[in-house]
Homo-oligomer: A and B are copies of this chain.
Amino acid sequence: MLIQAKRGRWDASDVTGSGRGAKGEDGGFGEAMNITPFRKLVALPEALELVRLNSAQVGRTEEVAAAAAAGRVLAVDVVSQMDVPAFDRSAMDGYAVRSDEVVGAGELSPVALRVAGELFAGDAAAVRVEKGTACRVATGAVLPGGADAVVMAEYASEEGGVVSLRRAEPKWGNVSRRGSDIKAKTRVLSAGTLLDPAKVGVLASLGQSSVKVISRPRLAIVSSGNEIAEPGTPLGPAQVYNSNSYTLSSLVGQSGGESSILPRIEDTKEAVREALLKARADGFDAVAISGGSSVGERDLLAGVLSELGEILFHGVQIKPGKPFLFGRIGPLRVFGVPGYPAACLMVGQVFLAPSVRRMAGLPPARRTVKARLSRRIASRLGRVQFLTVKLADGEAEPVFKESGAITSLAAADGYIVVPDNVELIEKSEIVEVVLF
């Protein structure tokens, strides 16, 4: 910002917006609502709330196969079209009987019945249990007509086509009645439910081979900066590889969204404007633009966004990630992510991932573990610090080097949040680590 503010004085071409920098965007801020100028940072809770309020669930739904439905969110209530079980079913291996015929049966007073047949699970109930007879049944078999109870096999001895039963059963004893689990027309799962493996099994058990789920939010991922080269291509002098697009895209995928990595754009007002308009025209739900470390970028985005849509905030009391900008152009959310890899990662974790989960209809996901801090750390009052740590032997070891460093990301397992009113945390204090 500092050099940027100066550049207006240095070079008149910047004022026209044809150069890399652009000054005077602050003048446009008044046109949009809820704008906080960059120099007046918003507090973290306020920033989180603004992102939350602007992350409504996507309105689109789609039909997916049951086998591919795990992890998706139901778009509709699932109502059973049938009774479950669909028929009176034996709950035990044993003998289907008429319960009034085994009244008083016991070890010393067995009841003898002729075995009229045998039914396994899946067999149609061709047998009928008439008076004086029983039918051998396996667990899961249809209860044959005439029968209204099952005597368990351990209380039975069969010889020469006659079974001797040593136990009475009340009416419907050891029988799973038709509809006892689920009655037809009952709502079994509600819209908005996350389909875990058990619930996918429930869908299948109701006969559904596919199901209507909430569509995944679609995000465009853009890196801006003249110094950015794509991985897999040779690195020119003064260039660095694009890592942010890959970090952000991975975060989106982990959070239930789909992302498209768009080609790197130049640090010009025209390129930023074009990228935003294209993301909107292509129907993306959000665009995440990460700046290079080139200074012009932040103001370029703010300037363009204040013309095309609205800036909801620009600058947050956090470290790293202070320059984060959030706004929208109609339905398109715009995440202006700082270019330094560590700052990009933290803004992605703290703002982007929860927003995508919310758009996807997913519940918040925050995996944390507690650990002892391996060494004393200092923080600055007045801003929330996100400190990347490595977990080893139950200790959380700070690995943050500088915002530009890659190695701290390579080693980090997660981060701790140092509140804005905390100046230091002592060695061996217990901290909560949010896992990546």
Contact = CB atoms under 8 A, between A and B. Distances in A.
A242 to B, nearest CB: 6
A402 interface: yes
A282 interface: no
A32 interface: no
A262 to B, nearest CB: 12
Contacts of A296: 120, 138
A348 interface: yes
A261 interface: yes
A238 B91 CA distance: 13
Interface string A387-408: 0000000000000011011110
Q: How many copies of this chain?
A: 2
Contact of A226 (B87, B123, B235, B344): B123
Interface in A91-108: 91, 93-94
A20 to B, nearest CB: 6
B247 A200 contact: yes
A409 B198 contact: yes
Contact of A295 (B120, B203, B240): B120
Contacts of A199: 409-410
Given A3-B138, A226-B120, A250 B406 contact: no
B122 A228 contact: yes
B154 A85 contact: no
Interface residues of A, number: 111
Given A91-B402, A293-B140, A198 B237 contact: no
A181 B246 contact: no
Interface in A55-113: 66-67, 69-71, 82, 84-87, 89, 91, 93-94
Contacts of A93: 2-4, 295
Interface stretch (A37-45, A205-213, A272-280, A327-335): A205-213
A67 to B, nearest CB: 6
Contacts of A4: 93
Contacts of A250: 67, 69-70, 195-197, 200-201
A231 B204 contact: yes
Nearest to A20: B120
Contacts of A246: 66-67, 200-201, 203-204
B6 A231 contact: no
A188 B410 contact: yes
A240 B85 contact: yes
A406 B209 contact: no
Contact of A406 (B84, B140, B405): B84
A136 B18 CA distance: 20
Contacts of A188: 406-407, 410
